[in-house]
Amino acid sequence: MFSCFSFAVSISGLFATVSTTFSYPLYAGGAASAVWCWLISGFGCMCIALSVSELVSAYPTSGGLYFTCKYLVPPGWVAEVGWLCGWLNLLGQATGAASGEYGAAQLLLAAVSMGSDFKYTPTQGHTIAVMAGLFVVHGLINSLTTRALERFTRSYVVFHVVVLIAAIISLLVKQDNKHTAKYVFTDIQSESGWNPLGFSFLFGFLSVSWTMTDYDATAHIAEEIKQPELKCPWAISGALLFTYIGGWIFTIVLTICMGNPEDILSSPIGQPVAQIFYNVLGKGGGIFFTVAAFIVINFGQIVTIQATSRTIFAVSRDNMLPLSRVWYSINKHTGTPLNAVWLVVLFCTAINLIALGSYATVAAIFNVCAIALDWSYCIPILCKVLFGRFERGPWHLGKASTFVNLYAVTWTLFVSIIFVLPNFRPVTAANMNYASVILVAIALFSLVYWYSGARKKSAFRMIDFELSPEQQAIRNASREFAARHLKGARSLYEPLGPPNGKWEDRFRSLEPLYREAVAAGLIKGQIPEPLGGSGGPLIGAVLMVEEFYAVETSASLIIFGTALGLLPLIIAGTPEQHAKFFRPFLEGSGAPLASLVFSEPGGSANYVESGTPGLQTTAVLDGEEYIINGEKIWATNSSGWDDRGAQLQCVACRIVSSSTPPGIISTSPSSETAIIIVTREDIAANSKDAYVVLEHPRTVGHIAVNGPHVRFQGLRVPKSNLLAPPGSGPEVLDKAFTLSATMVGAMGVGIMRQTFDRALLWAKSNTRGSKEVMLQKQSVADLLIKIKIRCESTRALTWRAAHAFGRTPFGSELCYEAKILGSESAVESVQDAINLVGVTSYSRDQPFGDLLQDAIVLPIFDGGNIGIRRRQITNLFANESYDPWQATFGK
């Protein structure tokens, strides 16, 4: 939580941004403008921040506010509105990064000028050169891992607060000629040339809007932190409140201690606040606090580049930029979007190079920052109020929400008008505000890019029954692979097993086919693209599962068993763990298996209920290693091809102390449950008795699938293999099994397709002694219609579940329902087909007996039976915030 708060505070860089923008309210209306504009404008900015916090809680994603359009806007407008918000947000982020780096360069050179007793005067070329160097340094820092960047922001907030307090105290103590309170709060003097004076006063709002902005920056790292739905909104609102109060106090102190405003506005270094420090504290104090402001703004720039790169990553994920696939990639060593980081560095440096030819132009680009950012927030806020599609998250404004939202939008409209007006009169080419020109130019480029073909590629839309070209390609490739490799799989494994062999021989016979799946990229496709794989949205996996199960079940389950085994690592792994453990699955060769090792011989369905034994597999920390003991069963792929373990096993266990007796009932099993990774290398490093396959049980259905009974006995693994620490294991397992429940729904669809195709073929080709084929019999046709309706309705629910998972608070309900409907409908459909075909269904020439066995085990897949899924849905119903309408139709 503190890291998130530090990140949010870093964005504003209060001490530095006030130091670099204090001149604007002074020019506009003097001391009173600076003080009252902070108080008035700050309230409007706080309303925007609170509104943004509310939306971020409901939709925590690295896309930030533009992503919320998918849920706040009517479906017909989603693509266009989302596109507009995304471009505005990206434009604001980029120009903010550019202006911040320019300001940092100015502060550094101001300190140098003070050190030379003003003998050195910075030039535009010097400023640009320093700016470019700073961008490179900040780009290198952003090339580090997220964890390393977190350390920067943790240390920053303490430094920032200390510097701010020290500056306030130093100025108040050392300034002998302080202005009176009457002067500070009532003196209005305009140097802008605008009349009437009250109108000139309004330009003082600009300083506040530049300081209190980029509200959703913390949301851009939401996918890199835990509990973003709570941490992000608290960080945003808390950081902006700190900036509001702290900025107002600092501004009051500056006006009290500034001396003659005309003198500091005409400072040769162009930095009024730096001049105030110099005048009041002398050369040493002036240099110290100017350098401190430089350090503060540098911290802010590190975070700004981080947030902007995550915005580029997010919009590229929705194909909103040219070369999106280049920017939407994660470096496997750092776990961060390095390409996007260096795009920010190069693009923003190029923006600032414009200052070499025309400072007025680059200043206009800087003006665009606050306008673009604020409207990228207020468009979703306004849509939230207008369309009533919002479903609040755990952090919300309650009854005050609508008032705060509308005030935020109204305030943004008001200050946007001021932003595009010239700051000084008379207006000349040198002081003209070109912000409106820049905005129109960027908007035109965005529209041209959209209508020239980007709208056809954009993934920014709700999933429906008309698949995108990418989704159609996934389905077609899956269908082709199934026809080429899976169709003959049963003839390979069915003859094997007792009495001439072992049950596991069936599983092992499919290793060559699995190698083909690896070579085809199907295993790499289980890993999301940002983590180095080629996997995309969940709907792609659902399409693949259906096509595979429509041809063959056992071989398909081995492939998707690996997908389930990788899920905990995808959900909870650190960048270091991703880089280490994903490697064998990304190489595209060999036959690496993964397994989620959960079920136990004594049962594990109620493993988190208080008073139950909990998981009996335990782990004890011994120095730098965990020692694992216990037995597991039914974990697909867990023994590997040779009984020496899968390449990667995610083992669910309880972490206990060394003094805990075996088999003891845990008083709090949920708080002890963890997940530890066990690799083949770990098993090989132990004695043979540390990992033993006790039995390969014969299965009913999916007869070639491997679900062995294994024993861990004193198995040692490195401490760094801890994936989900005690207490977080149940949450990771729940997410993994919720996602896999959707897959079970798709499996049911595939089995129903097989069933319908064979039953329809039989009905079209058999007369059973009648004059017409059986299809013409109403009772036969009715059964076929029932099977087809079940298949189509289950597919629809499964697709919706795939789209809703992780996007709405009650998206998990659809996943559970997809499993229930898919597994029950598959069993009923095969039974109907058997009734339809009659005694012929007993023949080995017909698949219905095998299909019934395959279908009948679907209800007990993914770590829980149908009863457990029904209880989970019941718990959702009992939730006080559950709304049937919103749960059904989404946000």
First to last CA, the chain: 27
**Between the CA of residue 36 and those of 50, 689, 756, what are the distances in Å?**
21, 76, 74
Q: SS3 sequence, 52-100?
A: HHHHHHHCCCCCHHHHHHHHHCCHHHHHHHHHHHHHHHHHHHHHHHHHH
**Between the CA of residue 123 and those of 109, 292, 362, 648, what are the distances in Å?**
9, 22, 16, 59
Angle, alpha carbons 757-758-761 (nearest 5°): 85
- Give CA–CA dist 419/416, Å, rounded: 5
Counting every residue written for the chain, the total comes to 891
Residue 235 near residue 215 (C-beta atoms within 8 A) = no
**Residue 68: exposed, middle, or buried by beta-carbon count in 10 A (0-12, 13-18, 19+)?**
buried
Residue 338 near residue 386 (C-beta atoms within 8 A) = no
Residue 539 near residue 471 (C-beta atoms within 8 A) = yes
Q: Is 263 an annotated catalytic residue? A: no
**Between the CA of residue 283 and those of 17, 22, 117, 123, 287, what are the distances in Å?**
21, 20, 8, 21, 6
**Between the CA of residue 800 and those of 462, 467, 538, what are the distances in Å?**
10, 13, 10
Catalytic residue among 216, 374, 832, 862: 862
Name the amino acid, one letter, at 860. I
171: closest CA among 249, 253, 271, 261? 253
Sign of CA dihedral 863, 866, 867, 871: positive
Q: How many CB atoms lie within 10 A of CB 736?
A: 26
- Give CA–CA dist 103/109, Å, rounded: 10
Q: SS3 sequence, 405-419?
A: HHHHHHHHHHHHHHH
User: Is residue 625 helix, strand or coil?
Assistant: strand
Cα 181 from chain centroid? 49
**Structure-block tokens of residue 149:** 């960047």
Residue 240 near residue 46 (C-beta atoms within 8 A) = yes
Q: Which residues are CB-neighbours of 691 under 8 A, at least 6 positions away?
A: 644, 645, 678, 683, 710, 711, 712, 713, 715
Angle, alpha carbons 786-787-793 (nearest 5°): 85
- Give CA–CA dist 792/752, Å, rounded: 9
The catalytic site residues sit at 862
